[in-house]
Amino acid sequence: MQASSDTRRVPIDRVGVRNVTYPMRLRTRDGGEQSTVARISMYVSLPHHQKGTHMSRFLEVLNDHSCEPLTPDRIPDISRAICKRLKAEQAHFEAKFTYFIEKHAPVSGAAGLMDYEVCFACTSNGDDDFMMSVAAPATSLCPCSKEISVYGAHNQRCRVEAEVRFSGMLWIEDLVETLENAASHPVYAVLKRPDEKFVTEKAYENPKFVEDIVRDLALALDRDDRISWYSINSENYESIHSHNAYAQVTRDRRPPSPRTP
């Protein structure tokens, strides 16, 4: 049935399976390893003349690589294998997972695990296009509130995210630090009273609109020669409004292709 013809002449950009639960293993920047569970999605493009794709073949490809937990360096291999097995012009593979980093409070040194949202994605169509996205929580303090208030200023948690194309080795930890440094101040899993004083005062000394966060993040990524393209955003969960504030920047840092004479 799937291989039969279709007369509606409507090609499909992506068709496949999503949210397959699968083990994943990652190297950490300090030389260790971390195991997690990923939500896997796999798609192919479908030409206008083909009725459907073979859904079971996606899982067959994944199972062919199940001799050990999934690692980032194997993702392009799986994406290419999907393309080949399903005889598709283009295949897309993505793995979304939670990554943990131990952080120490700035004064007391109290340790706690912070969780971050991470996604590895690869599109294969003869070439491999690999991207990594990381989202980190942080805190932002409103410059306007600080300017007009007799005392205090409203602050809120924000979610800062970057999706990047890069060359060489870019650790999740590297991107997390860049994201957190773009906000008014990082957040922590464990804070004692001296830590709370330190964090709130540092945020007060570093007020930022959502626009400031994405602009500072853009400048930081521009200084990283490993990164060739990025799409970044920040969403501030407003503490005195019923809405959130949002800003986004997308920039391609690759040189333009030479023109054909």
The 10 Å Cβ neighbour count of residue 128 is 13
Say whether pLDDT at 77 is over 60: yes
Least confident of 44-53, 159-168, 212-221, 226-235: 44-53
Closest to 157 in 3D by CA, of 239, 247, 70, 63:
239
Sign, CA dihedral 17-60-91-168, equals positive
Residues 98-148 have pLDDT tens digits of: 999 999 999 999 999 999 999 999 999 999 999 999 999 999 999 999 999
Token pair, residue 213, equals 């966060």
Domain-wise residue ranges, the chain: 11-126, 131-261
Kindly give the pairing relationship between strand 91-104 and strand 227-236. Answer: unpaired
Read off the pLDDT band of 1 (50, 70, 90): low
CATH of domain 131-261: 3.10.270.10
pLDDT of residue 253: 84
pLDDT of residue 231: 98
The 10 Å Cβ neighbour count of residue 254 is 8
**Backbone dihedral angles phi then psi of residue 69, each to the nearest 5 degrees:** -60, 150
Residues 200-230 have pLDDT tens digits of: 999 999 999 999 999 999 999 999 999 999 9
The rounded distance, in Å, linking the Cα atoms of 58 and 123 is 14
The rounded distance, in Å, linking the Cα atoms of 221 and 134 is 13
Say whether pLDDT at 15 is over 60: yes
Q: What is the 3-state secondary structure (H, E, C) of the chain?
A: CCCCECCCCCCEEEEEEEEEEEEEEEECCCCCEEEEEEEEEEEEEECCCECCCCHHHHHHHHHHCCCCCECHHHHHHHHHHHHHHCCCCCEEEEEEEEEEEEEECCCCCCEEEEEEEEEEEEEECCCEEEEEEEEEEEEEECHHHHHHCCCCCCEEEEEEEEEEEECCCCCHHHHHHHHHHHCCEECCCCCCHHHHHHHHHHHHCCCCCHHHHHHHHHHHHHCCCCEEEEEEEEEECCCCCCCCEEEEEEEECCCCCCCCC
Is there a common fold for 11-126 and 131-261? yes
CATH of domain 11-126: 3.10.270.10
pLDDT of residue 16: 97
